[in-house]
């Protein structure tokens, strides 16, 4: 029997070396002995690959089902498998196959069970994040040229949750525009001191003050658009002391527009842009002021109006429209077509035609 055991050991060393994926990561390079790395047994590789693919495609129900079936299989294998010390003390075929790596040892089964548990934690984290809506809000401080940045959340989960973004910071971008449509862009980041934790009750809402920021509308600027994004390196969720990883914590960004004191603050209708062009009053500063005073939720509608209007304009007459279009799109710097009149006319017209043909808006397509 001993020669057979040696043969299995020699064959198994090659199988394990080629087919098993380590879960322990790279070994330490420090001095002294390092413990052997435990690996997922080759017989479990297809199931783990299927579990990985389900997570990559964000198919949580499939991932849960795959993990549940794999856990059941591993639980059965745990009862029937031999530990490596047990196998070394025996000379039967099962012991030989275990030592050769053809059959998973109890240690290998335990490693696979630990890996399944980690996958289940990932699935659990994504499930909980799906039930949570996070966003930033910018709130003007009374009688001050400043705003506060608040993290707000709404939970649809059945139990209390604690959300912790890791290494959180605020990315702040400002875009200033003057009467001629000249833009100045500026950005900064603010690292948030300490940990960020938002506690959400079942079906409830919560908010957390993150930072205070100044409002900055430079002299000569018509308006400033401020965007604030919460940037983090993943995070975790905690429920009843149990922690779930979150590779990506999605938080809706916040935006606000602050206009110069000499511009009226009332909101305007998007259709006014088309009327101004039809009346021959489409100067840059007039169109831009109109665009600035259109509420963000109706900017797409305003672009539809411009898309319809520019189709009858010569290329050179599109130039005053460009700053307003860039503002409505939220472009900065030289994004998009810059100041290319023909490019903007074609893009606005094609966008309008696509939306008409798709039935998203009522109108007559230019047949481009």
What is the per-residue pLDDT across 57-86, written as a single tens digit (0 to 9) for each? Answer: 999 999 999 999 999 999 999 999 999 999
Beta strand extents in the chain (DSSP E only) = 21-22, 39-40, 132-140, 146-155, 161-165, 169-178, 183-191, 198-200, 205-214, 221-231, 235-239, 242-246, 254-259
How far apart (Å, rounded) are the C-alpha atoms in residues 223 and 261?
9
CATH class, 132-259 region:
mainly beta
Instruction: Report the distance separating Cα 211 and Cα 208, nearest Å.
Output: 10
pLDDT reported for residue 65: 96
Radius of gyration of the chain (CA): 31
Over 60: is that where the pLDDT of 361 sits? yes
Least confident of 205-209, 282-286, 291-295, 329-333: 329-333
Using pLDDT thresholds of 50, 70 and 90, give the confidence band for residue 366. Answer: low
Helix, strand, coil in percent for the chain, rounding step 5: 45, 25, 35
Assign 336 a pLDDT band (cuts: 50, 70, 90).
low
Half-sphere exposure of 230 (CA within 13 A, CB side): 29
The residue extents of the domains of the chain are 2-15+39-129, 132-259, 271-357
Q: In the predicted model, is pLDDT for residue 33 greater than 80?
A: no
pTM of the model as a whole:
0.77
Distance CA 20, CA 39 (A): 6
Measured CA to CA in angstroms, residue 115 lies from 45, 51, 237 at distances of: 11, 11, 19
Q: Phi, psi (5° rounding) for residue 161?
A: -130, 145
């Amino acid at each position: 029997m001993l020669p057979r055991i040696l043969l299995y050991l020699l064959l198994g060393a090659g199988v394990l070396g080629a087919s098993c994926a380590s879960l322990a990561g790279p070994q330490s390079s420090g001095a002294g002995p390092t413990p052997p790395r435990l690996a997922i047994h080759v017989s479990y590789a297809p199931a783990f690959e299927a579990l990985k693919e389900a997570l990559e495609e964000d198919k949580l129900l499939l991932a849960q089902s795959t993990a549940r079936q794999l856990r059941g299989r591993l639980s059965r294998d745990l009862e029937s498998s031999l530990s490596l010390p047990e196998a070394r003390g025996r000379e039967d075929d099962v012991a030989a196959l275990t030592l050769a790596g053809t059959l998973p040892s109890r240690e290998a089964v335990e490693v696979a069970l630990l890996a399944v548990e980690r996958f289940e934690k990932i699935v659990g984290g994504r499930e909980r994040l799906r039930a949570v809506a996070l966003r930033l809000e910018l709130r003007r401080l009374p009688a001050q040229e400043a705003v506060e940045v608040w993290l707000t959340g709404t939970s649809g989960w059945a139990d209390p949750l604690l959300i912790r973004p890791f290494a959180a910071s605020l990315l702040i971008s400002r875009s200033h525009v003057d009467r001629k449509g000249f833009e100045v862009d500026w950005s900064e980041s603010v690292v948030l001191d300490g940990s960020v934790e938002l506690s959400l009750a079942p079906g409830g809402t919560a908010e957390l003050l993150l930072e205070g920021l100044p409002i900055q509308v430079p002299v000569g600027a018509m308006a400033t658009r401020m965007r604030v994004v919460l940037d983090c390196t993943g995070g975790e969720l905690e429920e009843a002391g149990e922690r779930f990883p979150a590779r990506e914590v999605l938080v809706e960004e916040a935006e606000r527009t602050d206009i110069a004191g000499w511009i009226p603050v009332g909101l305007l209708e998007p259709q006014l842009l088309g009327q101004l062009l039809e009346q021959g009053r489409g100067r840059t500063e007039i169109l831009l002021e109109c665009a600035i005073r259109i509420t963000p939720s109706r900017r797409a509608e305003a672009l539809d109006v411009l898309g319809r209007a520019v189709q009858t304009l010569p290329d050179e007459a599109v130039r005053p429209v460009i700053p307003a279009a860039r503002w409505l799109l939220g472009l900065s710097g030289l994004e998009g077509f810059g100041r290319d009149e023909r490019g903007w006319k074609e893009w606005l017209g094609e966008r309008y035609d696509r939306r008409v043909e798709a039935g998203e808006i009522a109108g007559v397509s230019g047949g481009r």
